[in-house]
Chain A
Amino acid sequence: MNVETVIYSYLAICGAVIIFNIASVFVLKSKDTKLQRRAAEFERIIKKCLKDIEEGRKIDASHMDFLMKKLRNLSSLTAFDTALKSLKEENRQALEEYLLEINPVFENLMGRYISDRDVIKVTYFAYVVSEYGVIENHASTRMLRYLLRLLRVPSIYCRENALHAIYSSGDEDAVLKALKIVDEIPDFHHSKLVYDGMYTFCGNNKKLIEKLLYYFDSYSLQMQVAIMDYIRFTSGDYCKEMMEKMSDSESDDEIKFCCIRYFGRYRYEPAYPMLLDFAANDAHKRWEYASIASQSLAAYPSEHTVEILKENLHSREWYVRFNAAQSLEKLGVTYLELQDIFDGSDRYAREMLQYRFDQRELEKGGAV
């Protein structure tokens, strides 16, 4: 290969790149214009349907056929989504009824989209299903089966959109199955996404928690922690169950940490002796026990609590000292009661406590 060949090849590449640049500008612009035009058309058609609904008429079967035909196409689906977004605020109630009536369209379309090779397309369809609550409390078994299948698509976005659709169905059994699938697949799914998603569950939370606790042992540790976090931020009615898990010697440390946090949020007297025990510095157990328990003890004011927390101010672990000082401050312990620490020789304990007291002053709005 001589030098000229190389030069001419690069010139050809330059030319191709210029063509690509120019073409992409026009393609993107024309796509945008088309989308706006289609969205306006959908808006007009949907508005007509909403008017029919308001006047007590059913949606025409021909409209369903029209949607079935049109929404197979991705760009039409995007336009439909754009139209629904702009109508969402205008007439929410009628739109909800409209979506309920066109539910079978989504069910049929799901069968088509799920077999598409383009994961981005499948994910988008799952988004539309979850976004407009088309299956909220009305999910058919077939639809749920499709959504559960989507959880196995190797895309975190697809999984998330499908999970949100399942949460919106309000079906506890479907959620249980979904979590089991997410737990089993080899792909990573962050526990924060799991418990954040579960908060959006549209059904009966109590029933869901009971079922989750019943099948608790069948989940992996990571999923169990996500479930525990969900319960902690949802309800304080499960102290007995948490107590059982906290006392169980077989429970993993992470589960016990979740229980300790639960009792910090929801005061439960029978748990108090165990919390004191966890808070006590013990070389044989992980320092996290003392740290988390020190934080939870802020909900249990007593002389004994203050004593343990003062002891923990001398801990070698930064977070134990930090949480102990924070809890003492939350409990409203006075400067006089902590005089021994302020006058003591442990500089670390003194500094940590001083910081909390300074912060209290700051929160009150005064200068330190």
Chain B
Amino acid sequence: MSAEVYEIIDVILNVCSVFFLVYLIGYSTFLFASVVAGASALYQKKRQERLKNTLMEDYYVPISIIVPAYNEEVTVVETVRSLLALDYKLYEIIVVDDGSKDETAAKLIEAFDMHRIRRPMRRQVPCKRAEFVYECISEKVSITLVRKENGGKADALNMGINVSKFPYFICMDADSMLQHDSLARISRPILEYDNIVAVGGTVRPVNGTQLENGRVNKYRMPRNLLAAMQVLEYDRSFLAARILFDMFNGSLIISGAFGAFKKDVVIQAGGYDTDTVGEDMELVIKLHDYCRACKMDYRIKYATDAICWTQVPENMKDLFGQRKRWHRGLFQSMWKHRNMFCNPNYGLVSFISYLYFLVYELLSPFIEVFGMITVVLAYITNVLNVGFMIMFFVIYAVFGTIMSLTAFFTRTQTVDLKLTPGDAAKAVLLCFFEVTCLRMVMAFARMSSFFGYKKGKNQWKKIQRKEMNWK
């Protein structure tokens, strides 16, 4: 190669190095700020709880729990049983069977002695046709089963909204379990503020943990290493970013596994979008969009202490599939609401939340792969300082590891979960792998989500289900 070409490559690499430095400093600063903010918020919350700075009502608002289910015959009965054990006075359970090919509906009908009923529907948000409705009124709260034509999770949730009786609804997954006090905790903000339109709960992996009547009986890190790494990842994600975004009403995502919504506002906004796979994120962004367009005074809160336990994938294939679907959903939601990009009308939601999700979530796999290519190019052109690069990488990884561990230990300490020394050691060891190896693999999975994008547009997730470890 001529000297001119080397010079051009050198200039490009210099520009790249400045870009990556800014990118990494930006991410590290965000991670640090969010972990510190999250940890201090949790310790403050713990102090408030201990010193009775909390509302102590029997129940707060009547709530409809919507459980969309597709081929969930293994877990659906236990999920409903766990919902019946919740410490809350006024709620109803609605299971929407989205045209399952297995015995989901039959298992429920048999387990709860349900009876077919001709129930009129109030179609306030679009959804596919109902095939039949069963009800059970002999339990603590009413249980409704709606079997409908297959239309995807968002469509099933819309059906649940149409069938629900109460002014607030909770969406959750059929493979998840709510902690005994989670309804009370997720609905508290509704009485604390007059403008709540949605409240997000905290999702924690249940793998390895034993629950009894919605209470943690035994908390262990999962034996499966992949699941154990996800425990660390979930804690970092729920402790860090979400608490920070919550501080300026900038939450852009409420997990589909556990969130409470004000029904009339969701209906006015059009309900769940059946064209996206990331219907949970899309709904929250849509609520920001709708409320700001209507000049409504609104608030979307995050309840750190409202806990939902969920099964996380224990093999690479399922995890890959899940992350591809999440990333696809992220892309669809952000693209659909691209008007939020650097738009002063959306304030900090645009300039912090949207920008963060764009740069550090949506584009990050591309940036990371681009980074690797740059390293190879720099090596070939002999401008790479290998020693410095390794040091930089190690320090970055140590930093990420410590932030993750801080999130993990803060979370376990503030919710009074007892960790065994073995589990603590496991967390320390796995954290480094999670930050370095798993993150790289996930970057690849997320990038590949764009391949075959059309084909898998609105499929239900199909991860391998296990009988849940609760009584």
Contact = CB atoms under 8 A, between A and B. Distances in A.
Contact of B52 (A10, A74, A157, A351): A157
B32 A120 contact: no
B194 interface: yes
Given A123-B52, A368-B115, A7 B137 contact: no
A11 B400 CA distance: 11
B224 interface: no
B135 interface: yes
A127 B52 contact: yes
Given A14-B398, A14-B399, A24-B413, A6 B53 contact: no
A43 to B, nearest CB: 19
B46 to A, nearest CB: 9
A192 B60 contact: yes
B137 A362 contact: yes
B117 A358 contact: yes
Interface residues on A, range: 35 or more
A14 B402 contact: yes
Interface string B16-35: 00000100010010001001
Interface stretch (B207-215, B260-268, B313-321, B403-411): B403-411
Contacts of A336: none
A120 B47 contact: yes
Interface stretch (B118-126, B368-376, B442-450): B118-126
Contacts of A11: 395, 398-399
A102 B409 CA distance: 42
Contact of A351 (B21, B118, B395, B410): B118
B6 interface: no
B187 to A, nearest CB: 11
A348 B405 contact: no
B402 A17 contact: yes
A185 B218 CA distance: 46
A363 B136 CA distance: 9
Is chain A's binding surface mostly helix, strand, loop or mixed?
Answer: helix
Nearest to A197: B57
B345 interface: no
Contacts of B55: 156-157, 160, 193
Given A10-B399, A123-B53, A124-B52, A21 B392 contact: no
Interface string A1-21: 001001100110110011011
Most buried by B among A7, A11, A14, A348: A14
A355 B119 contact: yes
A359 B120 contact: no
Contacts of B403: 17
B232 to A, nearest CB: 14
Nearest to B396: A10
B397 to A, nearest CB: 11
Most buried by A among B52, B116, B395, B403: B52
B48 interface: yes
22 contacts: A3-B392, A6-B21, A7-B392, A10-B395, A10-B399, A14-B402, A17-B403, A17-B406, A24-B413, A78-B51, A124-B52, A131-B52, A157-B48, A157-B52, A188-B193, A351-B118, A355-B119, A358-B117, A359-B135, A367-B115, A368-B115, A368-B118
Interface of A: 3, 6-7, 10-11, 13-14, 17-18, 20-21, 24-25, 28, 74, 78, 119-121, 123-124, 127, 131, 155-158, 160-161, 188, 190, 192-193, 196, 318, 348, 351-352, 354-355, 358-359, 362-363, 365, 367-368
Interface of B: 21, 25, 28, 32, 35, 43, 47-48, 50-58, 60-61, 115-120, 122, 135, 137-138, 190-194, 391-392, 395, 398-399, 402-403, 405-406, 409-410, 413
